[in-house]
Structure 1
Amino acid sequence: MNGIKKQPLDLEELIRKKKEADSAAAKPKFLTKAMREKLAAQKAAEDKAKEEEAERKRKEDLVKSNRDFTARLNQRDGHQRSSIPTGPKAMRHDGNGPTNGAPVNGARGGRDGGPKKSANSNGKRSIEEDEAEILKQRYLGPEVNKSTFSAQKKRRRTTEKKFNFDWDASEDTSKDYDPIYAQQASAIIGAGRLAGFGEEAEEEAAKRYARGMEERDPIHGRQRAKEYLDQFYRGQEVRAKRNTLGKHWSDKSLEEMRERDWRIFKEDFGIATKGGAIPNPMRNWGESNLPSRLMDVVHSVGYNEPTPIQRAAIPIALQARDLIGVAVTGSGKTAAFLLPLLVYISGLPMLDEYNKADGPYALILAPTRELAQQIESEAKKFATPLGFTCVSIVGGHSLEEQAFNLRNGAEIIVATPGRLVDCIERRLLVLQQCCYIIMDEADRMIDLGFEDSLNKILDALPLSNEKPDTEEAENAQLMSKYLGSKGRYRQTMMYTATMPPLVEKIAKKYLRRPAIVTIGNAGEAVDTVEQRVEFINGEDKRKKRLGELLQSNQFAPPIIVFVNIKRNCDTVARDIKRLGFSVVTLHGSKDQKQREAALASLRSGETDILVATDLAGRGIDVPDVSLVINFNMAHSIESYTHRVGRTGRAGKSGVAITFLGNEDADVMYDLRQMISKSSISKVPEELRRHESAQSKPVKGRKTILT
């Protein structure tokens, strides 16, 4: 023995492992259409291989049985041929002739003088009968009516374990891909023949049959014909419903969609919903029930197809329901809450001299200035054509300037929590008629310490329009009935990428029976981003590798480089500038104008590379970012997820390269788990074998192996 003692099992750790395993097993697993097709192909290949193997064994058994039968037959024939005498019966003395005093030439029992029944005294057949039977089996085959019952085989069959199909027929999804369901023959009820022709010809034939019934029976024919046609049309409806089962949801109309189709639709887009009375998602913009004026704006902006969060959240929000949206970054959450908001305030009176001092109708809260201004820019695309005013209240601008922007009132205000609290405390703004609240990136606001500010803002809202915390809050008709009236209810929506306990606490306090929409797996990077990891220790080596990546011309600008501290921003930016690239920086020491100028130059293409801290990790939407480089690994896996989310947005692909060192041991386990869940990323061997990646560190306790 080498002297190493085994550590005793930790009961708490075993309980924790079991809880984690149970929670992981309880999470719904969604299979995309491609994954289902792949599984179906694998299953078909396995079934085909099993059938071929069974056929091969059957043929081998058949050949073996024929060979054994032929061998037994030849052996039997040889024995009988050796025992058949060649002389007359009177000369037989080998015991095969008549014995026991049987006459040789007298007492004929048959027509030919032989015995009528060729059997000896023991009931055995004679040699002639055996030979005739063998010849008959050789040329005519065995008797087909002969029983092959075997008690042993019967017992074996009944004791074998039988497979029970424990699934409902409606769960079968093979009809989507099986061509046998594409066409089905239908029958005319009462006509006595199949009608494999079109519906019009079918209907015409049924009408002719009904007219014939009227002519043949003048008294009751009319009533019988009417009953027959009613039965025929009901049968047509049943056949129409049956024939739609073989179609994919994209080939069906909204009326033809069934529960099974909606389940497949949600699986295809990774949509999971929770709550009572949740409406079905919309399949396209035409089914969104948005006003035509707003739809014209949507098409003019260039939104051709809704994203998964928009498909699921917009129908719920249009029913005046409170909502919690959990979706990965870059999934189109901004339009998902802006469009229902505009529909909501469209039913309210326009702001005038009498009510503009009572505050906005809608309030959107964002954690950072950049995200707030980005939401304002996106909101103006939709609100301005409809005649609504949108104003942002963020730090970095003077309060006098923002008060001047609010002089004529604004239906929509986008604000950061800290600056909005300053405006409320200085009486520059009131929320007397605010009835629509949106908290975007709620988890990030909690991380930045805005919990008290959020509570102050939400407590400043009028209490008279709060929804009841009962099942009435899930009743879409009841909630929608008060829209546009003075007694309208407040609608609160929260969008987040993760759900930490503090976010859940705020949701329970201010939201009433919310519907929860989850897109994909919360807290994971999107599948359009390829995540790469390189172990590089030391600043000089990392700068050299950074230069190699930028000069390789594999990635087109814009490119974002993340560091952990402000001082490194300027240092790394100077090194990149020496390589001949145009670069800007973004960190907390920059004032608002410098931040806006840096982002504007990156979006316009004047600058190729942005070097930033985690300030740019959330909410910064720069189109077509091809590469994200983590010069320093983020301190938490959540920050890493949001950094990576700056690329691969709007369905496009991207690459994220992370430099790791020994100082990043605390996040290696989570990073390994994150990369292993990605379908397009591969865990490098060095990270997979690293000691710190094998266990999750627990604060205040020893590292626990998992």
Structure 2
Amino acid sequence: MSFADLGLIPELLQAVAESGYTDPTPIQSQAIPIVLAGKDILGGAQTGTGKTAGFTLPLLQRLARHASTSTSPARHQTRALILAPTRELAMQVYESVKTYSKHIPLRSTCIYGGVDMKAQVAELRRGIEIVIATPGRLLDHVQQKTIQLNQVEMLVLDEADRMLDMGFIPDIKRILELLPASRQSLLFSATFSDEIKKLADQMLKDPQLIEVARRNMVSETITHVVHPVSAGMKRNLLAHLLRHQPDTQALVFVATKIVCGRLAHFLERSGISADAIHGDKGQQQRTETLEAFKAGKLRVLVATDVAARGIDIDELPNVINFELPHTAEDYVHRIGRTGRAGHKGNAVSLVCSEEKHYLADIQKLIKLEIPQEIVPGFDPDPDFFEAGSRHRGRRSGGASASMPAEPRQRAPAAPRAAPAAGESRGGRNGNTGGGNRGRQRSTVAPDGFDFSKPYESARAPEATADTGAPAEKSAPRRPQRPIAVLLGGLGRK
């Protein structure tokens, strides 16, 4: 099947041919005819398989009747709205729209946060048919009344699973209220949970589901490997791996902005050309860093998940997870930056003991047992291969939180005497504590107070236990001094 068989107009076929594409991908061959028919779509496909062209080409064809070379803003109403979760993804979609619409007089623009609104306002006021935007900045323009959405005919939510995440739902609902009810809506994403599909069913009208591969499937052109390593040796292992492949680029993912900047600085000091990209950097910095990486001026780009969707680099060979994502679906999006358009790629993950449960969740999601290879000289912690060990970011005593304490063997001797004050004393539940395996946590404070016993009054009893004679009367106590109110007392009476 060719693009001509899909019913595209000559202007689009020419643009596609000039871009070097000859045959449509599976998601394109299925989605384009349905979109041209005016139906709503819930589309899922592996990242890097051409979802953007799958909705961009039919969108341009359906809006071609509004194309005009007039300079009057009234002839260029906003007819299509494409929402993306990140600035990088919004710019990527914008580039695709410009590429495929070069022979059709339709105007398009990209609006996102982090930059001055003045240039965007000027662009919108001259009339724009296709607006690609992030939700927050779009609502800013709505509030400033610099954009009207009452003529929108088509709505596209790209990377719908992230757009419909709990944090984005209020913004999405506000935008939906501003759109005509008769619009056509398209939702595309690499992953779909059952909850997302239920929410999408409320937003779409009789949608058609398109899945060219099973949900949460990763590309077969990607090779996966896990390197078990202790947390403290991760940086050195990363530098070691990069030095052994001096001619290849790598996109390295971390969990936080702080680690992102520090890791890039460490690689630079190690003689490896690297830079960081994360949410705290200005848009100009992020754009310049990304362009330098695409041009090959940087060997390593260290990024947080803000860049997991939107980085489109031809034939990127390596994606390295310095820290595993806490959500298994994010692993699919991270490694989707490599192995795109049929090219081969490598997905490398550096995993310490505390991240084993994240690795288990990822393998369950993608239905793949990832091979583990220990790099000589970078051994993991001894408990990495313990069956059933499970850490949640910090250790609980000396043993794994999910492993039962080892039974203590008692010698066949007389019962042990009660421990003296300050000695270690076994707890009632047998919880492990301290740094040694099997040692029970003490419930006796240094001053002799035993937290495991019920409270007893410190007053002397009226009689001794063995003779029944009255106990000696203690000396009269001094009257208590008044304590200031600010210190918790009642003040002077």
Fold match by TM threshold 0.5: yes
Q: State the partner residue of 1:563.
A: 254
Kindly indicate whether the alpha-carbon contact (under 8 Å) linking 1:324 and 1:516 is maintained by their aligned counterparts in 2: yes
Kindly indicate whether the alpha-carbon contact (under 8 Å) linking 2:222 and 2:338 is maintained by their aligned counterparts in 1: yes
- Matched residue of 1:385: which SS? coil
Deviation, 1:504, is 2.7
Q: State the partner residue of 2:80.
A: 362
Q: State the partner residue of 1:552.
A: 244
Deviation, 1:670, is 1.7
Q: State the partner residue of 1:225.
A: none
Partner of residue 638 from structure 1, selected from 306, 317, 329 = 329
Q: State the partner residue of 1:543.
A: 235
- Matched residue of 1:347: which SS? helix
Q: CA RMSD in A?
A: 2.7
Kindly indicate whether the alpha-carbon contact (under 8 Å) linking 1:531 and 1:675 is maintained by their aligned counterparts in 2: no
Partner of residue 668 from structure 1, selected from 359, 362, 387 = 359
2:326 counterpart letter in structure 1:
H
Q: State the partner residue of 1:648.
A: 339
Q: State the partner residue of 1:407.
A: 125
1:650, 1:420 → 2: CA distance? 31
2:366, 2:386 → 1: CA distance? 15
Tell me whether 1:527 sits opposite 2:245 in the alignment: no
Kindly indicate whether the alpha-carbon contact (under 8 Å) linking 1:367 and 1:448 is maintained by their aligned counterparts in 2: no
> CA separation of 1:384/1:407 partners in 2, compared to 1, >3 Å: closer, same or farther?
farther
Size of the aligned set, in residue pairs, is 388
Tell me whether 1:320 sits opposite 2:38 in the alignment: yes
Partner of residue 512 from structure 1, selected from 175, 200, 205 = 205
Q: State the partner residue of 1:473.
A: none
Q: State the partner residue of 2:11.
A: 293
Q: State the partner residue of 2:273.
A: 582
2:323 counterpart letter in structure 1:
N
1:620, 1:348 → 2: CA distance? 31
- Of stretches 541-550 and 649-658 in structure 1, the one that deviates more from structure 2 is 541-550
- Higher Rg: 1
Tell me whether 1:302 sits opposite 2:1 in the alignment: no
1:552 counterpart letter in structure 2:
H
Kindly indicate whether the alpha-carbon contact (under 8 Å) linking 1:324 and 1:494 is maintained by their aligned counterparts in 2: yes
CA deviation vs aligned residue, 1:668-693 (integer Å, no higher than 9, x gap) = 32233356537xx5366999965348
Correspondences of 1:161-310 after superposition (within 5 Å) = 283-310=1-28
Identity of aligned residues (%): 35
Kindly indicate whether the alpha-carbon contact (under 8 Å) linking 2:354 and 2:391 is maintained by their aligned counterparts in 1: no
Deviation, 1:570, is 1.9
1:419, 1:344 → 2: CA distance? 26
Correspondences of 1:399-478 after superposition (within 5 Å) = 399-447=117-165, 449-463=167-181, 466=182
Partner of residue 186 from structure 2, selected from 484, 487, 493 = 493
2:95, 2:210 → 1: CA distance? 25
Q: State the partner residue of 2:297.
A: 606
Kindly indicate whether the alpha-carbon contact (under 8 Å) linking 1:558 and 1:625 is maintained by their aligned counterparts in 2: yes
- Matched residue of 2:187: which SS? strand
Kindly indicate whether the alpha-carbon contact (under 8 Å) linking 2:352 and 2:384 is maintained by their aligned counterparts in 1: no
Tell me whether 1:691 sits opposite 2:387 in the alignment: yes
Deviation, 1:349, is 5.6
Uncovered stretches (5+) of structure 1, i.e. residues with no partner: 1-282, 467-489, 697-701
1:291, 1:411 → 2: CA distance? 19
Q: State the partner residue of 2:432.
A: none
Kindly indicate whether the alpha-carbon contact (under 8 Å) linking 1:358 and 1:433 is maintained by their aligned counterparts in 2: no
State the structure with bigger RCO (CA 8 A, min sep 6), 1 or 2.
Answer: 2
* TM-score calculated relative to the size of structure 1: 0.52
1:691 counterpart letter in structure 2:
A
- Matched residue of 1:691: which SS? coil
> CA separation of 1:325/1:510 partners in 2, compared to 1, >3 Å: closer, same or farther?
same
- Matched residue of 2:230: which SS? coil
1:635 counterpart letter in structure 2:
H
Tell me whether 1:618 sits opposite 2:314 in the alignment: no
1:293, 1:284 → 2: CA distance? 15
1:636, 1:692 → 2: CA distance? 20
CA deviation vs aligned residue, 1:625-667 (integer Å, no higher than 9, x gap) = 1111111111111111211111111110111111111221331
1:529 counterpart letter in structure 2:
I
Deviation, 1:351, is 7.5
1:500 counterpart letter in structure 2:
S
Deviation, 1:579, is 3.0
Tell me whether 1:381 sits opposite 2:95 in the alignment: no
2:330 counterpart letter in structure 1:
S
1:415 counterpart letter in structure 2:
A
Kindly indicate whether the alpha-carbon contact (under 8 Å) linking 2:76 and 2:129 is maintained by their aligned counterparts in 1: no
Kindly indicate whether the alpha-carbon contact (under 8 Å) linking 2:356 and 2:391 is maintained by their aligned counterparts in 1: no
1:609, 1:533 → 2: CA distance? 19
> CA separation of 1:664/1:291 partners in 2, compared to 1, >3 Å: closer, same or farther?
same
1:314, 1:612 → 2: CA distance? 33
Correspondences of 1:24-63 after superposition (within 5 Å) = none
Q: State the partner residue of 1:190.
A: none
2:203, 2:69 → 1: CA distance? 27
Q: State the partner residue of 1:682.
A: 371
2:41 counterpart letter in structure 1:
L
- Matched residue of 1:650: which SS? helix
Correspondences of 1:334-349 after superposition (within 5 Å) = 334-348=52-66
Kindly indicate whether the alpha-carbon contact (under 8 Å) linking 1:423 and 1:429 is maintained by their aligned counterparts in 2: yes
2:148, 2:76 → 1: CA distance? 6
- Matched residue of 1:512: which SS? coil
1:365, 1:641 → 2: CA distance? 21
> CA separation of 1:599/1:390 partners in 2, compared to 1, >3 Å: closer, same or farther?
same
1:346, 1:358 → 2: CA distance? 12
Partner of residue 391 from structure 1, selected from 89, 94, 109 = 109
2:338 counterpart letter in structure 1:
T
CA deviation vs aligned residue, 1:121-164 (integer Å, no higher than 9, x gap) = xxxxxxxxxxxxxxxxxxxxxxxxxxxxxxxxxxxxxxxxxxxx
2:152, 2:389 → 1: CA distance? 49
Deviation, 1:435, is 0.1
- Matched residue of 1:443: which SS? helix
Partner of residue 287 from structure 2, selected from 570, 573, 596 = 596
1:352, 1:375 → 2: CA distance? 25
- Matched residue of 2:102: which SS? helix
Uncovered stretches (5+) of structure 2, i.e. residues with no partner: 375-379, 393-400, 403-493
Kindly indicate whether the alpha-carbon contact (under 8 Å) linking 1:446 and 1:502 is maintained by their aligned counterparts in 2: no
Kindly indicate whether the alpha-carbon contact (under 8 Å) linking 2:12 and 2:100 is maintained by their aligned counterparts in 1: yes
Tell me whether 1:659 sits opposite 2:350 in the alignment: yes
> CA separation of 1:675/1:386 partners in 2, compared to 1, >3 Å: closer, same or farther?
closer
2:4, 2:201 → 1: CA distance? 34
